[in-house]
Amino acid sequence: MIATNAFLNLISLALLVFWVLLLIRVVLSWLELAGVRPPASGPLRSGYELLMDVTEPVLKVIRRIVPPVGMFDISVVVAFIIVIVLQQALR
């Protein structure tokens, strides 16, 4: 029973971290639309690439299932909903 609770807590933590990473990705995409570009090199660039490498596989799968609506990519919104539903199911 304790191992099950620890495992569920670990999954819940992973979902929370992924949710935060998605939120950071959204903010960075808004900054890019405002004209702020990610650095060409250095530790910030490495962090940016890591963020994209972690979030893009999930978003790519969602994009195959839910195509863009006009010019809007709603895969991030769907990912947020999935994470929230999974978090609620774990409670």
Give every residue of the chain whose pLDDT is below 50, as ranges: none
Percentage of the chain surpassing pLDDT 70?
Answer: 97
Q: What is the domain partition of the chain in residue ranges?
A: 2-90
Tokens of 57: 């596989």
Q: b/e map of 47-73 (b: 16 or more CB within 10 Å)?
A: ebeebeeebeebbeebbeeeeeeeeeb
pTM: 0.87
Q: How many CA atoms lie less than 13 Å away from 25 in the CB half-sphere?
A: 21
Helix, strand, coil proportions of the chain in percent (round to 5)?
Answer: 80, 0, 20
Q: Determine the pLDDT at residue 39.
A: 83
pLDDT value at position 58?
96
Write out the H or E segment, with its range, that includes residue 47: helix 43-65
pLDDT at 53: 96
pLDDT of residue 37: 87
Q: Which residue has the tokens 């995409």?
A: 29
